[in-house]
Amino acid sequence: ENMPRSKELESFAQEIASLCGRKIVDQSTESRVVLLA
């Protein structure tokens, strides 16, 4: 209930990745985890 939705997390991760010069290399929808590299 307090956790962000998977799509919200992915959108946030894309924003952070672009600001840091990184990219999303993997993610787990069930765990709501996004790996940047």
Domain edges within the chain: 6-36
Q: Is residue 4 packed enough to be buried (19+ CB in 10 Å), middle (13-18) or exposed (0-12)?
A: exposed
pLDDT value of residue 2: 87
**pLDDT digits over 1-37, tens only?**
788 999 999 999 999 999 999 999 999 999 999 999 9
Question: How far lies 24's CA from each of 1, 2, 28, 32, 37, in Å?
Answer: 25, 23, 11, 13, 7
What are the two backbone dihedrals, phi and then psi, of residue 34, each rounded to the nearest 5 degrees? Answer: -130, 130
| pTM value > 0.75 | yes
What are the two backbone dihedrals, phi and then psi, of residue 4, each rounded to the nearest 5 degrees? Answer: -70, 155
